[in-house]
Chain A
Amino acid sequence: MAAVPTGHVLVVAVLLVCIGAFGVLLRRNLLFMLLSLEVVLNGAALAFIGAGSRWQQPDGQAFVLLIMVMAAAEVAVGLALFLQIHRRVSSLDADALDSLRG
């Protein structure tokens, strides 16, 4: 199997992180922000995979597993929170939730 060059992997990873980050910053809907966050995590996971295959080390794959578990937990907690938020303020607009303003 022809190895994908590490440089390409990293470029895609960076692209994923950037797309995700912009998604978090620009979207106002909480669900889409959570989705964008998943994209950022996937970018990071991809970088780990690429690095693991470059140096032939298992650590990269272990970290990816960790990231997946964490992402699952995050989605579970996040969705539960969104449900509560929607119940209380009838909206998922992130900018409407500014009651902690100083």
Chain B
Amino acid sequence: MPVWTMVAAPLAAGVLLGLSGARLDKRLVAVVACLAVLISFAAAVGNSVPLMAAAFPGLGIAEPDAALSRTAAGVPHLTESLYTWVEVDGLTVDVAFKLDPLAALMVLVVSGVGFLIHLYAAAYMADDPDYGRFFCYMNLFVAAMLTLVLADNLLLLYLGWEGVGVCSYLLIGFWYQDPANGAAARKAFIVTRVGDVALLVAILLLAVQLGTLQLDALASGALAAWPNGGFEVTLVALLLLAGAVGKSAQLPLQVWLPDAMAGPTPVSALLHAATMVTAGVYLIARTHELFLLAPAVLAMVATLGGLTAFFAACSALVQNDIKRVLAYSTISQIGYMFAALGVAGFAAALFHFMTHAFFKALLFLSAGNVTHCVGETDLRRLGGLRRSRALPGTAALAAVGAGSLAGLPLITSGFYSKDAILWATLQPPFLRPGLLLLLLITAGLTSLYAFRWYFMIFSGPAGPATERELHRPRDLMLYPLIALAAGSLLAGFLEVPATLGGYHALSEFLAPVFAAAEQRHGLGSNATLFSVEQAHRAELILQAVSAALAVLGMMLAYHWFIVRPPWQRWLAQTPVVASVAEIMRIGWGADAMYSTFVAQPYRALARRLRHEPIDDGIGALTGAVRLSHYLLVLTQSGRVRTYAAGMVLGALVLLLSWLWG
């Protein structure tokens, strides 16, 4: 199957469902929607095989395909140019899809996880009257996301980028009858728009400065035209970062993601956890040559990522809504990916993207099962669901997800990918011990909130909402979770650190994409910092610390939220602790800050402008005319004698002026 079928299948299904979804039978809608994404996944697998064969010749899975070509930098890829989209003086843009190892990883995750979530949604949304509309949006989203990932040039990438933004808006506001959902959708759309505009400016700058938007040509053009740390490349990288920050809900544009939980749960799982919000990570990884040329911006990526990871983890710790915990957790985990990108640990960031897609989708779908079964989203009213017969398996699957998020050592994929990121922060020349410390603290917090979430739902005594009769979710809502749980447990073994055996399938697969840049900037080796022996020991210590933090976090969460020792109540009632918790709960007051410093001044300005101050200048003229009108009206008394007096006076003036003139 050609590469473009990956995009075409969900696009065609989306259009079909959009035109006739309301009239089709629900079962047919589900089959069409899931089949389209399955075709995408099949095409992704089929086309990735030659790339895998090229990366691992020892496996002997297949002969390297003849269609497989290599770029100047030696990256194997499949490129399909469909037609010329834009052809103006000095700029040609094709509609071209390129599948290289980086894109292959992304399409496999997007279409694979996307397919599982579509299956889940087919059951989850079964009672919704707008079934066809829902799957229309979902399919269009998959098409747009795959366009974003497969695009061979920035303009096509931008098309996908905006496409996923629109689908995100439509899906957050899917239940539009409730005005709050519409407000959340608008908020998401407008906040990400800030970043999108920056990205568009970056694209236009690149087109004007380098005369091309093709990604490889951009990288080589930038290397040839711009010095390291030059003004233009710094500006472009900064604008690209702004775009990535908006889409990936990083500081300071993180405010939209918690509210985006207004959408149906499968939407939260697919768009706002597994795929769309990681588009920023993909963008930075894709344009890594530009970021490496702008070290100041790269440092900013690391700082923003670390801070976001920490602050969002604090917020996740005190949320009471089952999905808001996961939303803040997503922000925090993407912060990890940004931190990895900021220290040029591109493979680590993408590794974490993949494992995160599995375990976060798993967590969201588990949360979906819980809300579907109990009809309650407040964690404080849940509890004891592990023993409920209405939810067989979900508790165990959610435990796998929570454990993976927390990074429980050895068995979960989160442990391996988080460890890869932590280790990346110690690799020169972007050595950042401060960042490492921040991320380690965050790792402890992550484990704490992940298991707080799990224990408050599934352990302890039954909550007020879980005591009554529960209705059992369909079996179809369990199977995708099993697959995702398998991914959450097994994906980690694609990349096993040197201390535990040293198996680097994923980074070897991705290596060609980043090899040229890493060689040029002397990355990927900490030989200058440690000897092999020392590196081994340092990594072992790091793993031990992060594993200990994960386990400690879990134990503390159990002690704190299930055993509930007396000092916990005492601590919670201390005014200082309570107010700090409240600040964390409202996301560090970011919403209030935006309201005070952006929304309200803007609204005040709008109020002023409503009365058209610019028209006041012209209004003064009409005012003068009107005033003279009133004065003249006064002379029009209607009395003959007044007029006669005027005539006499006039005659007198004329006479006198003639006499003395």
Contact = CB atoms under 8 A, between A and B. Distances in A.
Contact of B638 (A21, A33, A101): A101
Interface in A44-102: 94-95, 97-102
Contacts of A39: none
A94 B640 contact: yes
B576 interface: no
B639 A98 contact: yes
Interface string B641-661: 100110010000000000000
B618 interface: no
Contacts of B632: 102
Interface residues of A, number: 13
A101 B641 contact: no
Nearest to A96: B639
A95 B641 CA distance: 7
Interface in B615-641: 632-641
B638 A99 contact: yes
Contacts of A98: 637-639
B636 A28 contact: no
B640 A25 contact: no
B641 A25 contact: yes
A101 B637 contact: yes
Classify the interface of chain B: helix, strand, loop or mixed: helix
A100 B636 contact: yes
B639 A95 contact: yes
B641 A102 contact: no
Contacts of A100: 636, 638
A41 interface: no
Contacts of B636: 100-102
Contact of A102 (B638, B640, B644, B645): B638
Interface string B477-518: 000000000000000000000000000000000000000000
A100 B634 CA distance: 12
A25 B638 contact: no
Contacts of B640: 33, 94, 97
A102 B648 contact: no
A99 to B, nearest CB: 6
B527 to A, nearest CB: 98
A24 B641 contact: yes
Contact of B648 (A25, A99, A101): A25
Contacts of B633: 102
Nearest to A22: B648
Nearest to B634: A102
Nearest to A94: B640
Nearest to B629: A102
A101 B642 CA distance: 11
Contacts of A28: 641
5 residue pairs, one from A and one from B, having the closest CB atoms: A102-B636, A101-B638, A98-B638, A102-B633, A100-B638
29 contacts: A21-B648, A24-B641, A24-B644, A24-B648, A25-B644, A25-B645, A25-B648, A28-B641, A33-B640, A33-B641, A94-B640, A95-B639, A95-B641, A97-B638, A97-B639, A98-B638, A98-B639, A99-B638, A100-B636, A100-B638, A101-B637, A101-B638, A101-B639, A102-B632, A102-B633, A102-B634, A102-B635, A102-B637, A102-B638
Interface of B: 632-641, 644-645, 648
